[in-house]
A and B are shown apart, each in its own frame.
Chain A
């Protein structure tokens, strides 16, 4: 397989039985990503951008189209057809997802959260402690926050923690779902630095952005989403 990710003719709709409604979200989406590429998607709210990322990450189940991913452990696989356990493996080791929302266990500190991400991949405790400190300081998260609960964090702090948690695993493919939404300029700039750092390390990324200026600086290619269809721009 030449590309890291090949989305072919992806369609997704939702059947809401209790309301008797059929909602068409996206149709005929084709995106190919080479290893190390950064591709951005823009578009209005509700145009179906996140749907694409959620289909790749397996949160949405796919009935039409295929998403081929070249896994280092499993070889080329169709993400629309992998088993649940295979998807869990890929999420743990190869595919990361960052949204603007942070979903965490209550009463888990920022430090524990990042450390767990490392341990999940089979890291050693001591090494994990060290790596956690490195990444938290790299993300310029206030040292006082390391041992407090993320529910008390500001939006920007949560987001940086969220990216730290995804980045510390050094995923091969990182899906970014509006990582800069609702951030001030300073925080945005920090996120940008981190993304650039990841690009240098060879991570392939597919991201959704509202901030065009921010995206133009980073992306190799851009797509625009309108009413569920994707156009190259």
Chain B
């Protein structure tokens, strides 16, 4: 990469399989698979040799059909799943010299709490629905080592205000909120420890257009103001067009094409990408 900048995160050959594998499939590259599924042992190769870099302040988009491995990739990066193979290096952790996937579970927790944030498609996965909204943010702050209640309250209020949750509702539980509001509480929570890297998994799916627009505004604004790097998974090409600098296309667990977002949308090379782009309304 010409060496004129260095990545925030560098992922190399990440692979994730569900199942033991057998002599029929013999690893992810096998031709005996049906799509990414082995008929004999039932192993699913969810991610196969996925490699990418994300640079400071950059938004990397990931598109692909349901089941192409996008969410599994995100789960691996956030240690929600163990990775079968591969390496990842974060500049903000040990100067990018340690493979994240080889760290102890204690260190992984440290990385999650200090240098990453994640927003799930389903708010139930990212929030404690019965806790107060500000309590949800405090939880993440406590995990990151904060202890002073007044400071945490201040930070939580500031963040909820930033994502347009009315301050007088900060002590309400997310279960009382609409989907869009829950999503914004999740974003506030993910941002609370000022992570250099934010993972967003289908954050606008299922939201109505105006709420979607306000969540997108928020993300774009945050990225611009705080220079956060974002990995953004979405199957909405409109969202990708608006937010992503570069885009990867996944199919059956593999990255089949990557490029600048306008390259992917205007000059798609792979058959599947062409089909996807030409389906755009």
**A: which residues have CB within 8 A of B?**
14-18, 54, 58-61, 73-74, 83-89, 103, 105-107, 116, 119
A126 to B241, CA, bound (A): 29
CA–CA, A86 and B5, complex, Å:
10
- B226 contacts partner chain A, Cβ-Cβ < 8 Å: no
Please provide the 6 A-B residue pairs with the shortest distance between their CB atoms, ordered closest to farther: A17-B271, A60-B267, A59-B262, A59-B266, A106-B213, A84-B246
Number of residues from B at the complex interface, CB < 8 A = 28
Additional A-B contacts beyond A73-B4, A84-B260 (6; CB < 8 A): A15-B269, A58-B262, A84-B259, A85-B55, A89-B4, A105-B220
Please judge, given known A-B contacts A60-B266, A60-B267, A88-B245, whether A83 and B259 are in contact too, CB under 8 Å.
Answer: no
CB–CB A61/B263 < 8 A: yes
Q: Chain A contacts of B246 at CB under 8 A?
A: 84, 88
- Decide: A85 and B1 in contact? CB cutoff 8 A: yes
A18→B276 CA distance, assembly (Å): 11
B274 near A16 with CB under 8 A, answer yes
Beyond A61-B259, A107-B217, whether A83 also contacts B1 by CB under 8 A is yes
Q: B242 an interface residue at 8 Å Cβ cutoff?
A: yes
Q: Can you identify 5 A-B contacts, CB atoms within 8 angstroms?
A: A58-B262, A58-B263, A61-B267, A105-B217, A107-B213
B42 to chain A, nearest CB (A): 31
Cα-based distance from A74 to B55 in the complex (angstroms): 18
Q: Which residues of A contact B267 (CB under 8 A)?
A: 14, 54, 59-61
List the B side residues contacting A119 at CB < 8 Å.
224
A17 and B274: CB pair below 8 A? yes
Nearest chain A CB to B226's CB is how many angstroms away?
13
Inter-chain CA distance A128–B213, complex, in Å, is 25
Determine whether the beta carbon of A18 is less than 8 Å from that of B275. yes
For A83, list chain B residues within 8 Å (CB).
1-2
Q: Are A105 and B263 in contact (CB under 8 A)?
A: no
List residues of B (245-281) whose CB comes within 8 Å of A's CBs: 245-246, 258-260, 262-263, 266-267, 269-271, 274-275, 278
Task: Encode B55-89 as 1/0 by CB contact (under 8 A) with A.
Answer: 10010000000000000000000000000000000
Instruction: Please measure, in the bound complex, the distance between the C-alpha atom of A178 and the C-alpha atom of B78, giving whole angstroms.
Output: 46
Say yes or no: B260 contacts A88, CB within 8 Å.
yes
A33 vs B240: C-alpha distance when bound (angstroms) = 34
Q: Which residues of A contact B1 (CB under 8 A)?
A: 83, 85-86
A60→B274 contact, CB < 8 A: no
Query: What CA separation (Å) do A61 and B265 show in the bound complex?
Result: 12
- B262 closest partner in A (C-beta): A59
Residues of chain B with a CB closer than 8 A to A87's CB? 260
Q: Are B213 and A59 in contact (CB under 8 A)?
A: no
- The reply to whether B266 and A86 contact each other, CB–CB distance below 8 Å, is no
Assess the B224–A54 pair: CB atoms within 8 A.
no
Pair B263/A59 contact, Cβ less than 8 Å: yes
Which of B2, B258, B278 neighbours the largest number of chain A CB atoms within 10 Å of its CB? B2
Residues in A neighbouring B216, C-beta threshold 8 A: 105-106
Least CB distance, B254 to chain A, in whole angstroms: 17
CA of A18 to CA of B58 in the docked complex: distance in angstroms?
32
Interface residues of B in 115-145 (CB under 8 A from A): none
Question: Which residues in A have their C-beta under 8 angstroms from that of B259?
Answer: 61, 84
